[in-house]
Amino acid sequence: MRDFISQRVVNTPPSGIRKFFDIAATMEDVISLGIGEPDFVTPAPILREGIASLERGETQYTSNSGTIELRIALSHHLNKLYGLNYDPETEILITVGVSEALYLAMTAVIDPGDEVIIPEPCFVSYAPEVSFAGGTPITVPTYVGDNFQVTAGTIEAAITSKTKAILVGYPNNPTGAVMTREIMEDIAALAEQYDLLIISDEIYDRLIYGVEHTCVPSLAGMRERTILLGGFSKNYAMTGWRIGYACANPDLLAGMRKVHQYTIMSAPTTAQAAALHALEAGDEHVNQMRAEYDRRRRLIVDGFNTLGLDCFEPRGAFYAFPSIVTSGMSSDDFAMRLLDEEEVAVVPGDAFGPSGSGFVRASYATAYEKIEEALNRFESFMRRHG
């Protein structure tokens, strides 16, 4: 029988993250710093609203775009935070997490042969989603010396006649980098100069430590040429609810909605009710979780630096990205041996692109005490290998 799998799928390697999760799941005493998921349970009032929605019998489909109540609340939320004005009827779409929102954006705008510029290291699904849509991902490196911020010069050097969009994700997974407003303005100017679209994944926008987040469509001239992707998984500890959103001008959003209609129908009804309550009354919980992440951030960064694993200071999200070059190992070898010898799970930096080579990603979205123990195990490991 012939091979029926498409070449796009065959040519896409498996996620570099999953291998370590699968091994760690078989180990009893493992400490996982690998998973990018809050260890907090969804705040109780948000949880109760989801339950109440079920008890009210709200088990039907919603509008393809999501409930109008949630879209109105999201419009108010983005206006309060960033001064943005999105029409809830025509410019906001509720999705099954940001993952679906990214898929919709790529499917709606990419034609075969179109190029999308992607700074790396980056979230593992960015390049594959471009490929699955028939486009060509053009990755460009970022460096610790630039605080893992992509520069306008680097992007401009990658622009060709086939370039259609720039895909950025800041605060960044895996580095924790945050873009300065000045650099983002330079990139926005490039988008205007070359008539490009910006797709901005801002899922970690409220997990920021001591700096300011720049929301891309809030920049001058960017609202009409930006697809803003966001969600509730990280900020509100709602990963399993699978609820996200996309905001864009009416023409772009209509294209995304069309794909959404045929693919998903609507985001989970119960999750939409919970998300509405999160927007209306969740700020206190976001602030509490962010403060705890910040406490863990300082612990893990200081711990890595003390061990001689020079660690870039993350200013957003919940990831540390220490250099492991002093070990003399590759990122993959370091992560595998650390898991085998000390039962600590991290992710090799090159799982997020070649410019992540020589680093590992360690999530501090786990309990403070577990991070302390993980650092003790790192110390034992480095005494043998460092």
Give the number of other Cβ atoms within 10 Å of residue 379's Cβ. 14
Each of the 386 residues of the chain gets a pLDDT tens digit; together they read 878 888 888 888 877 777 766 766 777 788 999 888 899 999 999 999 999 999 999 999 999 999 999 999 999 999 999 999 999 999 999 999 999 999 999 999 999 999 999 999 999 999 999 999 999 999 999 999 999 999 999 999 999 999 999 999 999 999 999 999 999 999 999 999 999 999 999 999 999 999 999 999 999 999 999 999 999 999 999 999 999 999 999 999 999 999 999 999 999 999 999 999 999 999 999 999 999 999 999 999 999 999 999 999 999 999 999 999 999 999 999 999 999 999 999 999 999 999 999 999 999 999 999 999 999 999 999 998 86
User: 345 near 30, Cβ under 8 Å?
Assistant: yes
Residue 20 has what pLDDT?
A: 66
Where in the sequence of the chain do the CATH 3.40.640.10 domains occur?
Answer: 44-281
In sequence order, what are the beta bridge partners of 138?
117
**Is cis: bond before 250, omega within 30 of 0?**
no
Burial group, residue 276, by CB count within 10 angstroms (0-12, 13-18, 19+): buried
Phi, psi of 91, rounded to the nearest 5 degrees: -130, 10
Residue 42 has what pLDDT?
A: 97
Which is it for the CA torsion 202, 84, 88, 54, positive or negative?
A: positive
Residue 385 has what pLDDT?
A: 85
Residue 11 has what pLDDT?
A: 86
Residue 137 three-state SS: strand
d(CA 150, CA 344): 31
What is the DSSP secondary-structure string of 340-365?
HHH-EE-EEGGGG-GGGTTBEEEE--
Phi, psi of 144, rounded to the nearest 5 degrees: -60, -30
- Whole-model pTM: value is 0.95
Q: Write out the H or E segment, with its range, that includes residue 7.
A: helix 7-10
Give whole-number Cα distances, 137 to 113, 117, 346, 384, in Å. 10, 6, 26, 40
Give the number of other Cβ atoms within 10 Å of residue 6's Cβ. 10
| Structure confidence by residue, pLDDT tens digits, 326-358 | 999 999 999 999 999 999 999 999 999 999 999
* Percent of the chain residues topping a pLDDT of 90: 90
Structure tokens at 43: 């705040």
In sequence order, what are the beta bridge partners of 31?
344
3-state helix, strand, coil in the chain (%, to 5): 45, 15, 40
Residue 270 has what pLDDT?
A: 98
- DSSP letter assigned to residue 150: P
User: For tokens 């998300």, what's the residue?
Assistant: 275
Residue 1 has what pLDDT?
A: 81
Phi, psi of 39, rounded to the nearest 5 degrees: -85, -5
Q: Give the fold, CATH level 3, of 44-281.
A: Aspartate Aminotransferase; domain 2 (3.40.640)
User: 36 near 98, Cβ under 8 Å?
Assistant: no
d(CA 162, CA 116): 9
User: 147 near 179, Cβ under 8 Å?
Assistant: no
d(CA 306, CA 24): 26
User: 8 near 132, Cβ under 8 Å?
Assistant: yes
User: 241 near 274, Cβ under 8 Å?
Assistant: yes
Instruction: Give the β-pairing of 197-201 and 163-169.
Output: parallel
CB neighbours of 293 closer than 8 A, spacing ≥ 6?
207, 209, 318, 364, 365
Residue 386 has what pLDDT?
A: 64
CATH architecture of 7-42+284-385: Alpha-Beta Complex (3.90)
Where in the sequence of the chain do the CATH 3.90.1150.10 domains occur?
Answer: 7-42+284-385
